[in-house]
Amino acid sequence: MSDTVEAIMDATERRIRAAGYSGFSFREVAADVGVKSASVYYHFPTKSALAAAVARRYNARAVEAADAAVLAGQDVVQAWKAIFRRALDDGAKMCLCGSLGATVPDLSPEVVNEVKGFFEAGVASLIAGGLTEQRATQVFATLEGAILMASVHGDAGIFERATEALD
């Protein structure tokens, strides 16, 4: 992937995490990166294609981080908690797919597929780590809800209190 594509995706991810799907335009992303809008269109012909690519990359990074932590001996729940906590620490921002998921009716099927993929991969990872499907779903929902509440209030302590029982 070229540096320009990475920069476009990074800028888009920041904007989506801060303001959701409607929180970015090609013009704004281009300005963030220091390129012309045509350059964004060259790499991503539609807003949906860009959002889906960003979500796909985000999903892969999250699953890779969880897998690596578990391979290093960390409990799977703690691995996922750390992923959400790092997302929160990155400027008290929402989880990318949580932010997108809040506006599913406004998203193209391509983006919805990537958002669903994130939640399915997270739950599958927790199940692979020994949790039942019910407990894995509960843990993932707790993490998403905790990051949402902490982001809304601008208070990371809320995340800690909401996820304390997961320890």
Predicted confidence (pLDDT) per residue in 104-123, tens digit: 999 999 999 999 999 999 99
Q: Which amino acid is at 23?
A: G
Q: What is the pLDDT of residue 160?
A: 96
Q: What is the pLDDT of residue 93?
A: 77
Can you tell me the distance from the alpha carbon of 23 to that of 32, in angstroms, rounded to the nearest whole number?
13
Contact 79, 21 (CB under 8 A): no
What is the CATH classification number for the domain harbouring 147?
1.10.357.10
Q: What is the pLDDT of residue 107?
A: 95
Q: How many domains does the chain have?
A: 1
Burial 136-160 (b: 16+ CB within 10 A, else e): bbebbebbbebbbebbeeeebebbe
Predicted confidence (pLDDT) per residue in 37-49, tens digit: 999 999 999 999 9
Range of the domain at 61: 3-166
Q: Considering only CA atoms, give the Rg of the chain.
A: 16
